[in-house]
Amino acid sequence: MFTALTNPEIARYSRHLLLPEIGVAGQLRLKNARVLIVGTGGLGAPLALYLAAAGVGTLGLVDFDFVEESNLQRQIIHSVRDVGRPKVASASDRIKAINPHIKVITHDTTLTGKNALEILRDYEVVADGTDNFQTRYLVNDACAMLGIPNVYGSIFQFEGQSSVFYAKEGPCYRCLFPEPPPPGLVPSCAEGGVLGVLPGIIGTIQATEVIKLIVGGKTPHAALPVGETEPDGGKPLIGRLLLFDAWRMQFRELKLTKDPRCPLCGENRTITGLIDYEQFCGLKKPETEKPVAKITATELKARLDRGDPLQIIDTREPHERAIVKFPTAKIIPLGQMTRRMNELDPAIDAVFICKIGQRSIFAIRALERAHYAGKMFNLQDGINAWAREVDKSLPTY
């Protein structure tokens, strides 16, 4: 444990030291702190940058992904030269460039029920920058079991939200969302889009909450050197959900309370260990469910070249088709699919397309439930695959 700041650190963090709410004692807590950031994308980027600049002594980064060009619109910790690199490696380099005093521990892996407790137990605060429900529930459950505060953030299009789920002092994520939404009901940012600055705003709010928790002594290992005065720590978002609408520039706040029936942190707990989160979120298909027939971009091209009779159904919205159009496709957005089913010819094979081949699966499933009798195929990996493999003059997005 560090008991003093060096002269270079005093110079670096002088603007913190001048704040009575932080001071030397608060800065020492930051120096001794260990924070894990789950995800180094849109939310993880400002989290990592600001926590490094603030002097958090040890930053852990969990991510299995690689930097892509489409990330650069919002994931400001990465740059053009990092495209193709592991995100944790790119983020680590940037953190060290900002603050060489910071120790960075990279976990280039997917966080799962098998490794989450082992990874998280070495940290005293976890900041959740993920973009999927299975990892959010996993992080929440692991934090509750380890007694660690979970600084939560999520974003979609123009809206974001943030809170601190700390089962020791307030509600957990399951108290707010006992069950995940049905698969496909909430599109990802890759499908629905996101305003580039939005994760910067929400991620910076998360970084603020992390700093307040550490400075205020709400972390499990927040001892102070002998003789130091206890810092204030402010009012963290424990028991509150902050909602932000960037398009209208509005903030709202909801009060959250612990659910006494919560299976994780309530009075009669039934969750005592980490579970299969993909199954919990409905991502594992029942063995009895018939798989959707698929066709690759090159296979579709071959059938079109042969002159096979096909009806190609574009399930995307009008503003998305303005980015790139598929030739000869019939336009039926996903939400209109079943009521416009009579526009399809069951005697002709139908190929359904979208951006990455996910919404088109839901379109096929909806038609199956409506007892559409024709043969249906899903264009694997969507129109992006067509642009990569067949018509390279088209953009991917």
The verdict on whether 175 is a catalytic residue reads: no
> CA-based Rg of the chain, rounded to a whole angstrom?
24
- Residue 189 known to be catalytic: yes
- Please tell me the distance from the alpha carbon of residue 70 to that of residue 77, in angstroms, as a whole number: 13
Q: Which residues of 36-59 are buried (b: 16+ CB within 10 A; e: fewer)?
A: bbbbbbbbbbbbbbbbbebbbbbb
Q: Which helix (H) or strand (E) holds 95?
A: helix 87-98
Distance, CA of 154 to CA of 188 (rounded, Å): 11
Q: How many CA atoms lie within 13 A of 248 on its CB side?
A: 8
Contact (Cβ atoms closer than 8 angstroms) between residue 61 and residue 52: no
Amino acid letter, residue 175: C
DSSP-assigned beta bridge partners for residue 310: 349
**Rounded (10°) angle between helices 198-215 and 44-54:** 40
Exposure of 283 by Cβ count < 10 A (0-12 exposed, 13-18 middle, 19+ buried)?
middle
49: Cα within 13 Å, side-chain hemisphere: 18
What are the phi and psi torsion angles at 19 (to 5°)?
-90, 120
Detail the DSSP E strand segments found in 247-320: 250-255, 294-295, 310-314
Say if residues 258 and 171 touch (Cβ distance below 8 Å).
yes
Contact 6, 12 (CB under 8 A): no
Amino acid present at 76: I
Q: Which amino acid belongs to residue 34?
A: R
Burial class from Cβ neighbours inside 10 Å (0-12, 13-18, 19+) for residue 82 reads: buried
- Out of 172, 262, 281, 354, which one is annotated catalytic? 354
Dihedral sign (CA 190, 74, 241, 150): positive
> Which residue is listed with tokens 């090159």?
298
CA 205 to chain CA mean position, Å: 15
Catalytic position from the list 143, 172, 189, 265: 189
Residues belonging to the active site: 189, 354
